[in-house]
């Protein structure tokens, strides 16, 4: 049987990490895990419970009362669950987006999520996207991608996505939220977004989804073959 590897995809918000990760997982028959969805589900819980996300102690206490997991939907894609219930669509709203970086800064939250992520990756055959997957979660991942795109391209993509869903948002508010999250994600003390020299950098500002997929698939095949 062909060797299975883990693929780590890190990068800024709205760079198309999820789209590429899903396509790679489908083509390789691997499991796709959106680690950002886990931080979003924790955030959703805090908002619902009225916990102040800037109060680390309150967040840590509330963390003990929640279970994060995944279920497969009808399309065989994993959806994040909060206490056993899929919250895949609720976690994409602007309220969660506005607070998630604050929650993801908290070490107790990260420790819990990283332990879950490592357990999922133990038997290999996982494509996981996030911010610290190749640096902290799977430092031994056989393929690490760092995705980037220009801020304007990223804001437009997220705007189009939310408008298609029927959300009432402006391009300016999206651009501001992305900038805010980039800053926190890259400058936080705990597991900041960064890359090491074993990453392959993929700037997709001017790449079609197909061209990007072909490139990444070529790298994946080489990594599976062990070179």
Q: Whole-number minimum distance, CB 81 to ligand DC, in Å?
A: 16
Q: Whole-number minimum distance, CB 181 to ligand DC, in Å?
A: 4
The contact set with ligand DC (CB under 6 A) reads 13, 35-36, 39-40, 100-101, 104, 130-133, 181, 185
Q: Whole-number minimum distance, CB 214 to ligand DC, in Å?
A: 23
Q: Whole-number minimum distance, CB 222 to ligand DC, in Å?
A: 25
User: What sections of the chain are H helices per DSSP?
Assistant: 17-28, 35-48, 56-63, 94-104, 107-121, 151-164, 171-187, 209-225
By beta-carbon proximity to ligand DC, the closer residue of 112 and 181 is 181
By beta-carbon proximity to ligand DC, the closer residue of 5 and 15 is 15
Say how far apart CA 7 and CA 127 lie, in whole Å: 5
SS3 223: helix
By beta-carbon proximity to ligand DC, the closer residue of 135 and 212 is 135
Say how far apart CA 215 and CA 227 lie, in whole Å: 15
Q: Whole-number minimum distance, CB 9 to ligand DC, in Å?
A: 10
Say how far apart CA 26 and CA 86 lie, in whole Å: 21
By beta-carbon proximity to ligand DC, the closer residue of 88 and 185 is 185
For 169-200, give one letter per residue: b (16+ CB within 10 A) or e. beeeebbebbeebbebbeebeebebebeeebe
By beta-carbon proximity to ligand DC, the closer residue of 54 and 222 is 54
């Amino acid at each position: 049987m062909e060797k299975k590897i883990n693929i780590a995809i890190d990068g800024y918000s709205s760079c198309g990490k999820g789209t590429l990760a899903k396509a790679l997982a489908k083509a390789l028959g691997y499991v796709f895990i959106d680690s950002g969805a886990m931080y979003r589900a924790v955030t959703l819980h805090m908002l619902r419970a009225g916990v102040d996300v800037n109060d680390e102690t309150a967040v840590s206490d509330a963390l003990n009362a929640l279970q994060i997991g995944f279920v497969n939907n009808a399309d065989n894609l994993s959806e994040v669950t909060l206490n056993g219930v899929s919250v895949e669509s609720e976690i994409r709203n602007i309220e969660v987006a506005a607070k998630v970086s604050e929650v993801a800064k908290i070490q107790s939250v990260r420790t819990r999520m990283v332990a879950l992520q490592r357990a999922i990756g133990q038997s290999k055959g996982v494509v996981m996207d996030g911010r610290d997957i190749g640096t902290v979660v799977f430092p031994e991942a056989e393929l690490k991608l760092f995705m980037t795109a220009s801020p304007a391209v990223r804001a437009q993509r997220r705007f189009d996505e939310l408008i298609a869903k029927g959300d009432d948002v402006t391009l300016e508010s999206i651009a501001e939220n992305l900038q805010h999250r980039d800053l926190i994600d890259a400058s936080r003390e705990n597991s900041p977004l960064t890359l090491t020299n074993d990453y392959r950098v993929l700037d997709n500002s001017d790449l079609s989804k197909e061209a990007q997929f072909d490139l990444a698939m070529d790298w994946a095949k080489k990594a599976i073959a062990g070179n």
